[in-house]
Copies of this chain bind each other. A is one copy, B any other.
Amino acid sequence: MRLLARAKQLEAEGRDIIHLEIGEPDFPTPQPIVAAAHAALANNPMHYTAATGLPALKARIAAYYQQRYHVSVAPQRIVITAGASAALLLALAAVLDLGQEILLTDPGYPCNANMVNFLGARVRRIPVGADNAYQFTAALIQQHWSTATKAVLLASPSNPTGTLIPEAELVAVVEQVTRRGGVVIVDEIYHGLVYGQPPPSVLNITDHAFVINSFSKYFGMTGWRLGWLILPEKYSDVIDRFAQNIYLAASTPAQYAALAAFDPATLALLETRREEFQQRRDVLLPALIAMGFDVALAPQGAFYIYASCARFTRDSLYWCEAVLENAGVAIAPGVDFGAYRAQSHVRFAYTTGMDKLHQGLARLRDYIQPVFK
């Protein structure tokens, strides 16, 4: 965050900065979604929806799961939320009692741990490396589960690594957690952005997991703050009550807009964007490796590359600051995502167009080469 503030300050001073640190797609909201919003604005008083969301949107989401994953999800298991953040907040609140513990990966998305603490529950961060695709394994669960542990949060594809949990391992993790009476929560917000075989949802394995998803990343609706939660049936009542008490309902215009998110025209556009992301990855990844970064495992999804910068520095935060100041390229340091090997890692985000990407690579190359020729 300090780095982002500094990048903005430099820009305010007139410096040109290439942003490879931003976790938000550069694409605008797809036109069919915007058009649906215009239509809703013209015809709708924009009152509250039901706390768990617009029934028509829940039906679309259910149809999407049927079509994409071939699973049936009853509408009462779907809750429309103010972004994936609110979905995770609801799931954590429903699952974790005060003082209970959840296992998170290190590295992982930093807000997750803060949100758990916010609720008075506890986080245990488990170091994961490229050997496990930066994901939990059944063996890790077994090793780290304690009497206070109640849940585990997976993210697949992961932020910051872009890696997927292999299906067999997901099955084993679900089995391991279930046997211990625990709850599996899976963040699938980058599921739409996978560059190869589409992964299964955890719902293909069990009805008893929570799934976090969002209209932000794949569907290009970041600023609308709209996501969804799929929950095990037995949590329906408690989540409905929490939703009413904590945020009343998700944004009505956003929900009407999102009705167009699953239209064939929208999905076709989103697929061209996914291909564009893939092309960016396919440019960025070999270029970084050629420069001397180590990427132990090619990311399969999201728009991130988690790379070792050990060849250049023992202090990735300091190094990122130096790269920003001297090369005008913003990259996220490992410490933004945890502590494990954080000082030797950085995260690149390919959320900027190909021109900027090439420019950023050239600047990095110029910065690195004189030092490490």
- Using a CB–CB cutoff of 8 Å, the interface residues on chain A facing chain B are 1, 24, 27-29, 34, 37-38, 41-42, 44-49, 82-83, 85-86, 89, 93, 98, 110-111, 114-115, 118-120, 221-225, 241-242, 244-254
Contact = CB atoms under 8 A, between A and B. Distances in A.
B120 A245 contact: no
Contacts of A38: 38, 41
Contacts of A41: 34, 37-38, 41
Contacts of A49: 223
A264 to B, nearest CB: 22
A105 to B, nearest CB: 17
Given A120-B120, A224-B253, A253-B224, A85 B46 contact: no
- State the oligomeric state as a number of copies: 2
A277 B131 CA distance: 65
Contacts of A29: 45-46
A222 B252 CA distance: 9
Contacts of A251: 82, 223-225, 251, 253-254
Contacts of A45: 27-29, 223
Contacts of A98: 98, 120
Contacts of A83: 247-248
Contacts of A44: 28
Contacts of A246: 85, 89, 111, 114-115, 118
Contacts of A34: 41-42, 46
B254 A115 contact: no
A222 to B, nearest CB: 5
A241 B24 CA distance: 18
B249 A223 contact: yes
A152 B247 CA distance: 21
A37 to B, nearest CB: 6
Contacts of A118: 93, 119, 242, 245-246
A223 B24 contact: no
A200 to B, nearest CB: 28
| Residue with the highest number of chain B CB atoms closer than 10 Å, among A38, A42, A46, A114 | A46
Given A93-B118, A119-B119, A111 B245 contact: yes
B120 A223 contact: no
A146 to B, nearest CB: 20
Contacts of A82: 82, 86, 225, 247, 251
A84 to B, nearest CB: 9
Given A82-B225, A98-B98, A245 B46 contact: no
B248 A225 contact: yes
Contact of A250 (B48, B93, B225, B253): B225
Contact of A223 (B46, B111, B244): B46
Nearest to A50: B8
Contacts of A42: 34
A200 B110 CA distance: 41
